C-alpha cells in the first residue's frame, strides 16, 4: 500500500495525494491535494471535471506526536461549462469558512471536559481562546422537557450575568446535573419550573433551609416530600458547640487557650471514633468547664438523633434533644432550637428519603474550580455551557 494511503487513513481524508511533508521540533506541515474527480455543479446540477484554478489553504489540525499540525491543502475550483459557475471541490474535514478541522475543535472541547481552563487548552491545541469559545457556542444544552422524580436544588456564588448567585438543579438519583439557572430568586426559579408538565410526578424535593425553595416546592410539587439535607442541620449544632468553646477559652491562660483551639477536632468528632488517647484528652477538657461538658453532651445527643434509621426512631430522640437544650440554658443553642422549630418537619423527612444534597454540594465544588480556573465568567450562557460540559 502506498505511503499516502497510510497517511490518508491517519488523517481520515479520502483520495489523498501527498506532495511533501516538513517537520520541525514543534510543528508538522503536510502539503496535499485530493484526487481529481467529476463534480456536480451546485447551481445547475450538470457534471463537470474542468478545473478553473488552484488555491492553497493552511488548516490547523489535531496535534501529531505532540506537535502542532498544519495541513496545506491545495484545493481546486471547478468550472461548469453549462452555467459558467465556479465552485470549490467537496472537502468534509473542514467546516465552511473555517481554518481548523472538526477534530481539532472536538479535541479542544474534550480537553475542557477535563476541567482545564480555556487558555491552557488554547496553548495545547495551538488555536485561540476566542475560537474555543465559538466552538463552545456550537454545543447547545436546551432546557430539559421533563423533571426527574427526585429533584435537588442549591445555589452557588457565580457572579455571572449580573447576578451574584446562580441556582443548580440536580437529579440525585441518577447523579446528574439537571440544569443551571441564572438566578436563585423566587421569580426566576418559579418561571423556570412552572413550564414543566410533569410537576406532579416529582416525588422528592431536596433543599437547604431556604423559605423561597420551600414555598416553590409547596406550590409546584404538591405530591413531593420536601427534605432538608442533614448536612445543613448538623452545622447548627457544631456551631453552637464551637461558640461555647470560644466563650469559655477567652478567660483561660494563653497556653491553655491555644490547646483548646488546637483540640477542637476532638470536641467535634463522634465519641465512638476517638482513640483512647483522645478520649483521655477529652475528659480533661470537659472537666475544666461544666458548660463545655454540657454542650458536648448535647452535641453527642444530636449525633445520636442523626444516626436514626427511621423517622419513627428519630422523632423521640429529637424531642429529647430539644428538651435537653432548653433545660441547659446555653444561649449558644438558641439558634439551633429556632431552626428545629421551623424546619423539624422537613428534617424528619430526610430519614425516609435515601437521597441527599451530597451530589449537589460536590458539583458545587467542581463549579468553584471551573470559575477559579477561568478567573470568573461574566457571560452566564458561557458559564452554563462550561458547567454542563464538564459535569455531564
Q: Give residue-wise pLDDT tens across range 203-230.
A: 999 999 999 999 999 999 999 999 998 8
pLDDT(1) > 50: no
Q: What pLDDT, in 10s, does the model give residues 75-89?
A: 889 999 899 999 888
Q: For the chain, give the percent of residues with pLDDT over 90.
A: 46
Q: φ and ψ at 22, to 5 degrees?
A: -135, 140
pLDDT at residue 154 tops 90: yes
In DSSP notation, 107-125 reads: HHHHHHHTT--HHHHHHHH
Q: Span 160-184, mean pLDDT?
A: 93
Please report the pLDDT score of residue 90 as a whole number: 79
Query: Residue 336: how many CB atoms within 10 A of its CB?
Result: 23
pTM above threshold 0.85 = no
Q: Which of 30-34, 90-94, 107-111, 121-125 has the least mean pLDDT? A: 90-94
Q: What pLDDT is recorded for position 5? A: 64
Residue 6: pLDDT over 70? no
Q: What is residue 129's predicted lDDT score, i.e. its pLDDT?
A: 85
Give the integer Cα–Cα distance in Å for 349 and 118: 43
Beta strands in 269-333 (DSSP E): none
DSSP 143: P
Query: Which are the contacts of 154, defined by CB distance < 8 A and separation ≥ 6?
Result: 167, 168, 170, 207, 208, 357, 360, 361, 364
Beta strands in 65-207 (DSSP E): 67-79, 86-88, 150-160, 163-171, 176-181, 204-207
pLDDT the model gives residue 198: 94
Q: For 16-53, what is each residue's pLDDT tens digit?
A: 788 888 999 889 998 988 888 888 898 898 999 999 99
Q: What's the whole-number mean pLDDT along residues 328-345? A: 93
12 vs 64 pLDDT, higher one: 64
Amino acid at each position: 500500500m502506498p505511503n499516502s494511503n497510510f497517511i490518508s487513513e491517519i488523517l481520515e481524508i479520502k483520495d489523498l495525494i501527498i506532495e511533501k511533508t516538513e517537520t520541525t521540533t514543534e510543528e508538522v506541515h503536510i502539503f496535499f491535494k485530493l484526487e481529481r474527480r467529476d463534480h456536480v455543479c451546485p447551481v445547475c446540477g450538470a457534471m463537470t471535471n474542468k478545473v478553473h484554478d488552484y488555491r492553497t489553504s493552511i488548516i490547523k489540525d489535531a496535534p501529531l506526536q505532540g506537535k502542532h499540525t498544519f495541513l496545506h491543502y491545495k484545493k481546486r475550483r471547478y468550472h461548469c461549462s453549462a452555467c459558467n459557475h465556479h465552485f470549490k471541490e467537496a472537502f468534509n474535514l473542514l467546516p465552511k469558512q473555517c481554518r481548523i478541522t472538526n477534530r481539532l475543535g472536538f479535541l479542544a472541547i474534550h480537553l475542557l471536559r477535563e476541567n482545564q481552563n480555556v487558555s491552557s487548552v488554547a496553548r495545547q491545541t495551538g488555536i485561540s481562546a476566542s475560537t474555543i469559545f465559538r466552538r463552545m457556542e456550537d454545543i447547545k444544552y436546551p432546557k430539559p422537557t421533563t423533571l426527574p422524580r427526585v429533584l435537588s436544588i442549591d445555589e452557588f456564588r457565580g457572579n455571572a450575568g449580573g447576578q451574584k448567585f446562580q441556582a443548580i438543579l440536580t437529579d440525585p438519583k441518577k447523579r446528574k446535573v439537571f440544569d443551571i439557572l441564572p438566578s436563585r430568586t423566587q421569580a426566576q426559579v418559579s418561571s423556570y419550573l412552572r413550564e414543566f408538565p410533569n410537576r406532579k410526578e416529582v416525588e422528592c424535593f431536596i433543599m437547604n433551609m431556604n423559605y423561597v425553595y420551600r414555598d416553590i416546592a409547596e406550590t409546584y410539587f404538591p405530591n413531593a416530600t420536601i427534605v432538608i439535607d442533614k448536612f445543613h442541620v448538623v452545622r447548627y449544632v457544631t456551631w453552637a458547640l464551637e461558640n461555647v468553646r470560644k466563650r469559655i477559652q477567652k478567660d483561660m491562660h494563653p497556653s491553655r487557650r491555644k490547646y483548646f483551639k488546637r483540640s477542637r477536632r476532638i470536641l467535634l468528632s463522634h465519641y465512638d471514633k476517638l482513640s483512647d488517647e483522645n478520649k483521655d484528652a477529652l475528659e480533661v477538657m470537659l472537666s475544666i468547664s461544666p458548660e463545655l461538658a454540657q454542650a458536648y453532651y448535647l452535641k453527642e445527643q444530636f449525633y445520636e438523633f442523626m444516626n436514626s434509621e427511621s423517622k419513627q426512631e428519630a422523632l423521640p430522640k429529637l424531642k429529647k434533644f430539644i428538651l435537653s437544650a432548653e433545660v441547659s440554658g446555653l444561649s449558644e443553642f438558641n439558634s439551633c432550637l429556632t431552626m428545629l422549630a421551623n424546619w423539624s418537619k422537613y428534617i424528619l423527612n430526610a430519614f425516609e428519603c435515601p437521597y441527599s444534597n451530597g451530589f449537589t454540594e460536590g458539583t458545587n465544588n467542581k463549579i468553584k474550580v471551573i470559575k477559579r480556573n477561568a478567573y470568573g465568567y461574566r457571560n452566564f450562557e458561557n458559564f452554563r455551557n462550561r458547567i454542563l460540559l464538564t459535569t455531564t
